[in-house]
Structure 1
Amino acid sequence: MAVLKRHLTAFAMQGTSNTKNYKGLKVKKAGFTMALCLFLSMLTAVNAAEADKEKEKKESPYANCGWNCLGWVWSDQNLKNTIEPLENVSGTIGHLSAYTYRWNDSGIKTLGLIAQNVEQADPRLVQTTESGFKQVNFPGVVALLLAEVKSLRAEVNGLRVQQVQ
């Protein structure tokens, strides 16, 4: 394990190819991607304890599994500090737009967000990779959406109370 780098990127299978070599890993069949992502996430967590503080500040704690990986994301309170509730997120949510699009390499049609647009709404939700491509922090987007739903729910409940009076 010491040979493996802390920040590994899993290859998400796209297109019709059965196998791909990625940073020395041979990935077979699209169904294997999820297991590989989870394995790399585990390696990331195990190796995080060995990382020096400066390196830890620069590297993401996530394994980048590509566009079609599902799995669990670290969120334990014991791994965090300076925890503050999100407030006034309506402005950010109002600037986000959902799109349908096709991936250039595979031609697969899907739906989602465009990182450059998300970055304009809230730069904390986007990072740029070494290759220059932008990635969206989807757990962060979900947190914003949850905060907005709770805000709207409180507003609706307030209107209901006013209506009853």
Structure 2
Amino acid sequence: MSLEVGNYAPQFESKDQNGNVIKLSDFKGKKVVLYFYPKDNTPGCTAQACNLRDNYEALQKAGYVVLGISTDSEKSHQKFIEKQELPFSLIADEDKSVHEAYGTWVEKSMYGRKYMGTARTTFVIDEEGKIEEIIEKVNTKEHTNQILK
């Protein structure tokens, strides 16, 4: 089942970089930017995270909570946050359960080799928990503009 605009976002429970349990239901009444990205400290993922960091105030003014999510560990997320001075939480989805619920754990191909990985995708979720927008063609350097347009 693939998710569409208007669907309720799948509920999840996972841990952030500090080991705190994060549930989507914790954010009911708030707008959430839930962005799935492949790997901490890689060029595209760093560009995306830094674009969201540099525009974090504008996102907050627009009422958004920003949550990044990848299959990296809590410790990897801690290092990424410290190195890039990220003001938002990163969720560790090491068992890929949240990725699978959102359809972002997919078969990819590079140089003819097939492998499983994260489809860089952002879900904008409204105050009621419904998907307001799905951004599949993420521009890592201009991501905030894609969200706030």
TM-score normalized by the length of structure 2: 0.24
**Structure showing greater Rg:** 1
More relative contact order, 1 or 2 (CA 8 Å, 6+ apart): 2
Larger helix proportion of the pair: 1
